[in-house]
């Protein structure tokens, strides 16, 4: 008998979604904020439900849907990040008079897709989760329907996203044909039974390699790793800044979980092959991300390339192939998401000539108009670079440490060197903020209290890196014991 209580978090989100969609129809425009608060409430309640019922949820031993501690921690993290993102989005949309509840509701569909992705133990479920996420992202990007940039970005993301789902499905179909199953555990057992040490003279192993390559290509598309990164700068540039905030944070967590599950669990028998592919992906991402970012003038494009570089670091941690590397990669992912929410959130609250911030030069002389904002932005950028007291430092340190401990010293040196290259474009923004003459009057759309508290939390996290460190240690070791 199926016990539906294990998917109660998803049921909460779905029922809140259905209820608010209908409720919103009957609310006059003045009262639309009620549905916004209800959405926030359902997110917080869902996170609380998972937290308070975590021991019950982990009893689930379903073959289809995994609610282990590992996936629950990621779900809580995604729910809380989304609540933060929704706060920034509502402030931004209200200021520019384009507040529509549909934006949040469509994003909730994406959230549902991510929760299904994270919990999936079956290729069919994985596919449905990824599609639910991408379908809602397509429409969220095209949300600003009067903007040419926005619709162009949506078309680009749509075409490339559809190709990448095609690749994923082709890989899944090959795996299905070779192993006769869609279940992660059964596929794992099948792959382990093939004798791979003899080299790739076996037809089945070649087929499996093809499937692995197809699936890896598709996931790197979604993740934004280097040879498949073309959509990232365009889409980040084209969509409104809070959509960029949404795109650059939580979908990455979900794809990261899928990568960990597929690579280290399902395809662990093919480690010899995927390790090299992941190393190539990460080296290219770090190179392209850091070097192309130098020449960018648009701040959203610059942060897009910095995203690509950060993805490269995460993949570097995955390529190590031991628990210490996975732990470092998870720590890096969480840190990246937390920092990016602060960066884009702060930028979304700044306006220049009654328009959202577009170019780096818009920020010039920020220090003279509002020193507090400049201070916050400097902290966030220093954390991106990886300057010691901030959280970004520990993230980079763990990745490099895991590389050195597994005797991957050349890769470690490469990572350090590229961090130096990367610090150039972050420092340039700090220079523009502090030393350039103010050309524009910058204002903020709201009081920056919440952002201030958030950045304070970021600094505390940097001073106490054990908080995120223990969290990733706990969840990764839990994942590998079960």
Let me know: does 149 contact 355? Beta carbons within 8 Å. Answer: no
Among 81, 296, 367, 444, binds other proteins (CB under 8 A): 296
Contact between 212 and other proteins per CB under 8 A: no
Whole-angstrom Cα distance, residue 58 to residue 396? 31
User: How would you list the strands of the sheet with 350-352, edge to edge?
Assistant: 355-356, 350-352, 442-444
Size of the site for other proteins (CB under 8 A): 43
Contact between 190 and other proteins per CB under 8 A: no
CB of 165 to other proteins, least distance (A): 8
β partners of residue 65: 120
CA 225 to chain CA mean position, Å: 12
* Options 159-167, 313-321, 337-345, 425-433: segment touching other proteins (CB under 8 A): 159-167
Among positions 219-258, residues that touch other proteins (CB under 8 A) are 233-234, 237-238
CB of 481 to other proteins, least distance (A): 29
* Options 174-182, 278-286, 374-382, 436-444: segment touching other proteins (CB under 8 A): 174-182
Contact between 139 and other proteins per CB under 8 A: yes
Contact between 169 and other proteins per CB under 8 A: yes
Contact between 128 and other proteins per CB under 8 A: yes
| 9, two tokens | 């978090």
Contact between 138 and other proteins per CB under 8 A: yes
Looking at beta carbons only, is 120 or 296 nearer to other proteins?
296
| 408, two tokens | 């991957």
Looking at beta carbons only, is 126 or 376 nearer to other proteins?
126
CB of 70 to other proteins, least distance (A): 26
Interaxial angle between packed helices 241-248 and 231-238, expressed in degrees from 0 to 180 and rounded to the nearest 10: 140
Whole-angstrom Cα distance, residue 381 to residue 427? 8
The DSSP secondary-structure symbol of 351 reads E
CA 333 to chain CA mean position, Å: 7
Among 49, 176, 375, 434, binds other proteins (CB under 8 A): 176
Whole-angstrom Cα distance, residue 247 to residue 223? 10
* Options 28-36, 72-80, 169-177, 411-419: segment touching other proteins (CB under 8 A): 169-177
Whole-angstrom Cα distance, residue 230 to residue 424? 23
Centre a 10 Å sphere on the Cβ of residue 172 and count the other Cβ atoms it contains: 20
β partners of residue 355: 352
DSSP assignments along 60-82, one per residue: ---SSB---HHHHHHHHHHHHHH
Among 96, 170, 194, 434, binds other proteins (CB under 8 A): 170
The DSSP secondary-structure symbol of 359 reads B
Looking at beta carbons only, is 180 or 457 nearer to other proteins?
180
Contact between 156 and other proteins per CB under 8 A: yes
Looking at beta carbons only, is 230 or 463 nearer to other proteins?
230
Contact between 162 and other proteins per CB under 8 A: yes
β partners of residue 183: 122
Report CA-CA distances (Å) from 99 to 31, 142, 150, 419, 448.
12, 14, 16, 39, 20
* Options 3-11, 217-225, 294-302, 340-348: segment touching other proteins (CB under 8 A): 294-302
Contact between 152 and other proteins per CB under 8 A: yes
Contact between 158 and other proteins per CB under 8 A: yes
Contact between 450 and other proteins per CB under 8 A: no
Centre a 10 Å sphere on the Cβ of residue 35 and count the other Cβ atoms it contains: 20
Looking at beta carbons only, is 135 or 397 nearer to other proteins?
135
Among 62, 185, 298, 478, binds other proteins (CB under 8 A): 298
CB of 47 to other proteins, least distance (A): 28
Handedness of CA 297, 283, 134, 347 (dihedral sign): negative
Surface-to-core class of residue 25, CB atoms within 10 Å of its CB (0-12 exposed, 13-18 middle, 19+ buried): exposed
Contact between 155 and other proteins per CB under 8 A: yes
Among 55, 97, 146, 481, binds other proteins (CB under 8 A): 146
Among positions 315-374, residues that touch other proteins (CB under 8 A) are none
CB of 136 to other proteins, least distance (A): 9
Report CA-CA distances (Å) from 205 to 187, 196, 271.
13, 7, 13
Contact between 163 and other proteins per CB under 8 A: yes
Q: Spell out the residues 6+ positions from residue 342 whose beta carbon is closer than 8 angstroms to its own.
A: 376, 380, 451, 454, 455, 458
CB of 172 to other proteins, least distance (A): 8
Among 14, 40, 62, 147, binds other proteins (CB under 8 A): 147
β partners of residue 120: 65
Among 18, 159, 441, 456, binds other proteins (CB under 8 A): 159
DSSP assignments along 164-210, one per residue: HHHHHHHHHHHHHHHHS--BHHHHHHHHHHS--TT-S-SHHHHHHHH
Looking at beta carbons only, is 207 or 452 nearer to other proteins?
207
Which residues sit at the interface with other proteins, rule CB under 8 A?
A: 124, 127-128, 131, 135, 138-139, 142, 145-149, 151-156, 158-159, 162-163, 165-166, 169-170, 172-174, 176-177, 180-182, 233-234, 237-238, 296-298, 301
């Amino acid at each position: 008998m199926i016990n539906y209580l294990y998917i109660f978090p998803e049921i909460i989100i779905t029922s809140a979604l259905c209820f608010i969609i209908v409720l919103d129809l009957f609310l006059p425009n003045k009262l639309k904020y009620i549905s916004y608060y209800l959405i926030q409430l359902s997110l917080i309640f869902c996170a609380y439900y998972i937290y308070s019922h975590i021991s019950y949820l982990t009893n689930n031993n379903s073959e289809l849907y995994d609610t282990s501690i590992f996936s629950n921690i990621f779900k809580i993290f995604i729910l809380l990040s989304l609540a933060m993102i929704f706060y920034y989005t509502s402030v931004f949309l209200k200021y520019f008079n384009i507040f529509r509840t549909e934006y949040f509701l469509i994003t909730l569909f994406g959230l549902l897709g991510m929760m299904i992705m994270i919990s999936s133990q079956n290729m069919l479920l994985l596919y449905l989760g990824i599609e639910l996420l991408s379908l809602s992202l397509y429409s969220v990007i095209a949300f600003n329907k009067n903007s040419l940039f926005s619709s162009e970005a949506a078309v680009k993301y749509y075409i490339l996203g559809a190709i990448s789902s095609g690749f994923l499905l082709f890989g899944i179909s090959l795996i299905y044909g070779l192993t006769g199953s869609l279940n992660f555990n059964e596929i794992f057992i099948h792959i382990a039974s093939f004798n791979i040490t003899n080299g790739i003279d076996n037809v089945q192993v070649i087929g499996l390699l093809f499937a692995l390559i197809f699936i890896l290509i598709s996931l790197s598309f979604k993740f934004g790793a280097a040879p498949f990164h073309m959509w990232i700068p365009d889409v980040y540039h084209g969509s409104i800044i809070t959509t960029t905030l949404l795109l650059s944070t939580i979908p990455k967590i979900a794809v990261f979980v899928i990568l960990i599950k597929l690579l280290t669990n399902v395809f662990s028998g093919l480690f010899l092959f995927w390790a090299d592919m992941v190393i190539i992906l990460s080296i290219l991402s770090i190179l392209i991300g850091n070097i192309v970012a130098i020449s960018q003038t648009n701040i959203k494009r610059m942060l897009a390339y910095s995203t690509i570089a950060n993805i490269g670091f995460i993949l570097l941690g995955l390529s190590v192939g031991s628990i210490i590397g996975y732990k470092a990669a998870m720590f890096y992912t969480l840190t990246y998401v937390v920092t990016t929410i602060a960066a884009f959130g702060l930028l979304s609250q700044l306006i220049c000539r009654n328009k959202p911030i577009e170019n780096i030069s818009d920020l010039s002389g920020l220090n003279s108009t509002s020193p507090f904002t400049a201070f916050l932005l400097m902290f966030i950028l220093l954390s991106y670079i990886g300057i010691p007291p901030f959280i970004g430092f520990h993230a980079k340190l763990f990745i490099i440490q895991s590389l050195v401990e597994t005797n991957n010293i050349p890769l470690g040196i490469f990572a350090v060197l590229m961090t130096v290259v990367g610090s150039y474009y972050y420092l340039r923004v700090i220079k523009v903020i502090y030393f350039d003459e103010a050309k524009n009057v910058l204002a903020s759309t709201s009081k920056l209290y919440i952002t201030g508290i958030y950045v304070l939390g970021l600094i505390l996290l940097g001073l106490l890196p054990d908080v995120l460190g223990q969290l990733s240690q706990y969840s990764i070791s839990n994942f590998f014991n079960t």
